[in-house]
Structure 1
Amino acid sequence: MSKVVLVTGPARSGKSEWAEILAMQSQKAVIYVATAVENSEDKEWQQRILQHKQRRPQHWATLEVPYELSATFANAEPNICLLVDSLGTWVANFLEQDELIWENIVQEFLETVELVSADVIFVAEETGWGVVPAYPIGRTFRDRLGHLVRQLAGISQEVYLVTGGHVLNLSLLGSPLPKLKNSHRNRKVTNS
């Protein structure tokens, strides 16, 4: 039986490291699913990507999947563990899509996650703890990611918050809110 795990937290909190530990503990073959798009002109971004590459075991396979996560899940075998790092980067890759297209992407994503045969560990950033961004694209990103993380947490078997280098198992410590009224199960978004 597959297991879906969500690891969330602020930047530089240790969330990716915790997700990597969970992947190792799965005792399955791990495939690291990188959602970042490399940019050779952005040296700082390339350094961040390099740090992630250097930290994970060399025997892990890596897939670069900036857009088609649903297809990756649909083709996953039960004997593997997919570590998706990160949902924030994946959401950012779609920021230019209008709301209708985005909602359809999310619906397909969540439906595919519920049917995945492999274990999947998601890393997601918590972006909504600060002030409301002063620019529209920042608000769109924060709102889309927050909404996605909440919906994904609702179908995950385990949810962790990593902050300040400490891990909290929210599945044991907290109580989930009721499902969102506009969740992917309750509506189909169409162009009509």
Structure 2
Amino acid sequence: MAEQRTLILGGARSGKSIAAERLLAAEPEVLYVATGGDGSSDPEWAERIAKHRARRPATWGLAETIDLVPLLDSDGPPLLIDCLTLWLSRTMDALDIWSDLSRAGLVEHEIAQLAEAWSRTSRMVVAVSNDVGSGVVPADAGTRLFRDQMGRLNTTISLRSTTALWTIAGRTLPLT
């Protein structure tokens, strides 16, 4: 299998996940890496998860985790990481960044670790991520920090990818 690292960017509900699934549809096995949690405490989120699961082939595996580095460093079937936005949010939760924004350096370290693993992986990998930087500047410091870190994460992963795509209204365009 040729080395292939693809990042699919776009706005909310733009068709990113469907585009990622299409890219990997011909693969007999894929490990779907869900970074958003299981939805057990949020019925609307659980419904979204159910729709995603219903679209995927039965042969695809599932890992619900934000611990992406070990997956990228191991051998196995292609990975579909959905999504880096939720990875960042949950990583910031785990590092308790929201209550102490001065701890932002901790998340920058996690981004660097993820980027290094992304660069060295021998697996085919497709990651989905939201572009949150095209809107207004958020009013509060925590949301600005998240938006800024999301931009750094997307830029870092994009520049280490073999392919970067932009999805809007269900259409996917290459970024060169």
- Fold match, TM over 0.5? yes
Matched to 2:83, the amino acid is S
Give the Å deviation of 1:45.
Answer: 1.2
Distance 2:25 2:39 in 1: 29
Amino acid at match of 1:70: V
CA deviations on 1:75-125 (whole Å, 9 max, x unpaired) are 133xx2100000000000022332221121111111111111110000000
Contact 1:28 1:81 (C-alpha < 8 Å) held by counterparts: no
Q: Which segments of structure 1 move beyond 6 Å, counting only runs of 4 or more?
A: none
Change (3 A) 1:131 1:116: same
Tell me if structure 2 keeps the 8 A contact 1:153–1:159.
yes
> Is the 1:14–1:163 Cα contact (8 Å) retained in structure 2?
yes
What SS class does the counterpart of residue 24 from structure 2 fall into? helix
The secondary structure found in structure 2 opposite 1:94 is helix
Q: Is residue 2:57 matched to residue 1:57?
A: yes
Distance 1:106 1:28 in 2: 30
Q: Secondary structure at the match of 2:91?
A: coil
TM-score normalised according to structure 2 size: 0.90
What TM-score do you get using the length of structure 1 for normalisation? 0.82
Given candidates 77, 80, 84, the residue that maps to 1:83 is 80
Query: Does structure 1 retain, via aligned residues, the 8 Å contact 2:108–2:149?
Result: no
Structure 2, unmatched stretches of 5+, are 98-102
- Structure 1: stretches of 5+ with no match in the other structure: 172-192
SS in 2 for 1:129: coil
Task: Find out whether 1:133 has 2:138 as its counterpart.
Answer: yes
3-state SS, counterpart of residue 33 of structure 2: strand
Deviations 1:40-99 (A, max 9, x none): 23111111111111111111001111x21011111133xx21000000000000223322
Displacement of 1:28 in angstroms is: 5.0
Name the CA distance, whole Å, in 2 between partners of 1:50 and 1:118.
26
Identity percentage over the alignment? 33
Inter-CA distance 28–57: structure 2 relative to 1 (3 Å threshold): closer
Aligned twin of 1:2: 3
1:169, CA displacement in angstroms?
A: 0.9
Cα drift, residue 141 of structure 1: 1.4
The answer on whether the counterparts of 2:28 and 2:59 sit within 8 Å (CA) in structure 1 is no
Q: How many residues align?
A: 167
Letter in 1 for 2:139: A
By how many angstroms is 1:38 displaced? Answer: 2.2
User: Are the equivalent residues in 2 in contact too, given 1:127–1:142 (CA < 8 A)?
Assistant: yes
User: How do 1:1-192 residues align onto structure 2 when only pairs under 5 Å count?
Assistant: 1-25=2-26, 27=27, 29-65=29-65, 67-77=66-76, 80-95=77-92, 96-97=96-97, 98-171=103-176
Cα deviation, residue 131, structure 1? 0.8
In 1, distance between residues paired with 2:74 and 2:89?
24
AA matched with 1:44: E
**Per-residue deviation, 1:126:** 0.9
